Structure 1
């Protein structure tokens, strides 16, 4: 696909589904650094929360609990920095999620719902609340 036609496709998808939504949002929630990032081609959103690990990340119970957080589509991103900073994320490019560019490209409505910035922000907050609960539960053990 030529770059001009690719750019036109993305512009058309942005106009129809994304509107004025930002491509990037950073905020803090309960002390966690949270980010929303838009995929540059699909125009779908991903949500992330970063924090310092409360327990050694090699603690199997802790790591399994973090990797299995209940969030839209499940945890699809898990990174640990050398300084034990953990970033957990998810994306909105799953079955029934509308990917704006693919929707325009395919010309048919196979997908149910475009996941908005507000939706992703609520999911990030839900994810952070679960991380806090995991930390509290392990503290009690």
Structure 2
């Protein structure tokens, strides 16, 4: 089944949404990417760590940010750039692919690009707060 035929059968919120969005928010590099099989969205924020990432309190705070489904992606590049992310493939999240293959479940909700963008901004605001709080300690 190709992407065009999937879109024709998928939930209406999915149809016409982009597969990739890149934006800046409060100096953070933010991205929304569509999972290639499930067609659900994932959100990411990348930034330079304000504290040594081996600081256990800092790392734990970043890994436990309150975001949809919790932090499911955490990476530190060799250059010191930190990327924190989450996905929209959890119990109550609707996957366009699974909807097509298994039928619609009324209790599930498709998480739109707008929803993911709001969650990324919420995540960035928390990272800024974590940075400010650790600086006060």
Aligned length: 136
3-state SS of paired residue (1:34): strand
Q: Determine which of 62, 65, 71 is the counterpart of 1:69.
A: 65
Partner of 2:110: 114
Is contact 2:38–2:95 with CA below 8 Å preserved after alignment?
A: yes
1:1-141 to 2 correspondences below 5 Å: 6-7=1-2, 10-14=6-10, 16-109=12-105, 111-141=107-137
Residue 3 of structure 1 corresponds to none
**CA shift at 1:81, angstroms?**
0.7
Counterpart secondary structure, 1:114: coil
Q: Is the 8 A contact 1:38 1:45 kept in 2?
A: yes
Gaps of 5+ in 1: 1-5
How far is 1:13 from its partner? 4.0
Structure-1 separation of matches of 2:44 and 2:25: 11
CA-CA distance at 1:41 after TM superposition? 1.7
Question: Could you say what secondary structure the match of 1:18 adopts?
Answer: coil
Contact 2:7 2:14 in 1 (8 A): no
Gaps of 5+ in 2: none
Tell me by how many angstroms 1:105 deviates. 0.5
| Alpha-carbon distance between aligned partners in 2 of 1:67 and 1:87, rounded to the nearest angstrom | 10
Is the partner of 2:121 in helix, strand or coil? helix
With the length of structure 1 as denominator, give the TM-score of the two structures. 0.91
* CA offset digits 1:40-73 (Å, max 9, x no partner): 2211000000000000000000000000000000
